[in-house]
């Protein structure tokens, strides 16, 4: 049961950073809709949240499909209530060097990150503007600054930052803040896939990454979740249009 708790939506919430964010928002007192391409994949996260006595539902959605997004947000409203917090976390990688990068990989990555953030934000914002209060947090990346073999992903994550700042300008007068979190090296399935792509074991890949991190450790999904939790707080209402790099220090 929701018991009139404020409702948060987390896309790509079945694993990694999305899972950590969903769990943290539940801990902060939100009823959480865990959205993922496969609702079944999100069920373990929902079950874990419910075990703590908090409310959660798993919802299947293709964030690149307009009809699917509208149906998913309608389901969230029906089962939990109108969402007033959104974390656009859904994302994929299709890494390759430019001369080998095909158009399908380019289109797919930009569709999930940019079209997805656009469609879900558009569907949720009407609930926020009606409530005269809302929080949108978009997941960018240090790759927005450029990263070899990630022309598509870097372009998408840079686009997320522009999208964030524009929504902050448009929605601020309705009491809605919009910010972005840009993680550095975080231990997730996605970074494991990157290690495999470059022909390294994950331990080797992690060791190399840590050498470039000033705090000399790998980031964890919970590090990102903590930043998201800050942005959705009531007392963060004067912070909007910002990009917070959660990367263990400035990039060299």
pLDDT tens figures, 95-135: 999 999 999 999 999 999 999 999 999 999 999 999 999 99
Q: How many Å apart are CA 108 and CA 113, to the nearest integer?
A: 9
Q: Please give the model's pTM, rounded to 2 decimal places.
A: 0.95
Banded pLDDT at 2 (limits 50, 70, 90): low
- The residue ranges of every structural domain in the chain are 7-183+221-245, 185-218
- Per-residue pLDDT tens digits for 219-230: 999 999 999 999
Q: How many Å apart are CA 101 and CA 99, to the nearest integer?
A: 6
Check pLDDT > 80 for residue 79.
yes
Tokens of 172: 């601020």
**Rounded mean pLDDT of 142-158?**
96
Active-site residue list: 153
CATH code that applies to domain 7-183+221-245: 3.40.50.720
Report pLDDT for 208.
Answer: 92
Check pLDDT > 70 for residue 90.
yes
Q: What b-and-e string marks burial along 161-187, b requiring 16 or more CB atoms within 10 Å of the CB?
A: bebbbebbeebeeeebbbbbbbbbbbb
**Rounded mean pLDDT of 201-209?**
93
List strands edge to edge, sheet with 56-60: 56-60, 31-36, 7-11, 83-88, 134-139, 176-183, 243-246
Check pLDDT > 80 for residue 3.
no
At 92 the three-state DSSP class reads coil
Check pLDDT > 70 for residue 1.
no
Q: How far is CA 158 from the centre of its chain?
A: 14
Banded pLDDT at 4 (limits 50, 70, 90): confident
């Amino acid at each position: 049961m929701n018991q009139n708790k404020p409702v948060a939506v987390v896309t790509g919430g079945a694993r990694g950073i999305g899972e950590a964010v969903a769990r943290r928002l539940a801990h902060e007192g939100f009823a959480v809709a865990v959205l993922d391409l496969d609702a079944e994949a999100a069920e373990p996260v929902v079950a874990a949240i419910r075990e703590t006595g908090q409310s959660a539902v798993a919802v299947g959605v293709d964030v690149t499909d307009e009809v699917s997004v509208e149906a998913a947000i309608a389901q969230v409203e029906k089962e939990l209530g109108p969402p007033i917090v959104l974390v656009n976390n859904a994302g994929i990688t299709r890494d390759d060097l430019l001369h080998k990068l095909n158009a399908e990989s380019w289109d797919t990555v930009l569709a999930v990150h940019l079209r997805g953030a656009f469609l879900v934000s558009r569907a949720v914002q009407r609930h926020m503007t009606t409530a005269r209060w809302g929080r949108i947090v978009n997941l960018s990346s240090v790759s927005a600054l450029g990263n070899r073999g990630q022309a598509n992903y870097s372009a998408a994550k840079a686009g997320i930052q522009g999208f964030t700042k524009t929504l902050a300008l448009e929605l601020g007068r309705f009491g809605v803040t919009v910010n972005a979190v840009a993680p550095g090296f975080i231990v997730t399935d996605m970074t494991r896939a990157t290690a495999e792509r470059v022909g390294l074991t994950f331990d080797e890949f992690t060791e190399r990454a840590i050498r470039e991190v000033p705090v000399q450790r790998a980031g964890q999904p919970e590090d990102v979740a903590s930043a998201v939790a800050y942005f959705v707080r009531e007392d963060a209402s004067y912070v909007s249009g910002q990009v917070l790099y959660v990367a263990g220090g400035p990039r060299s």
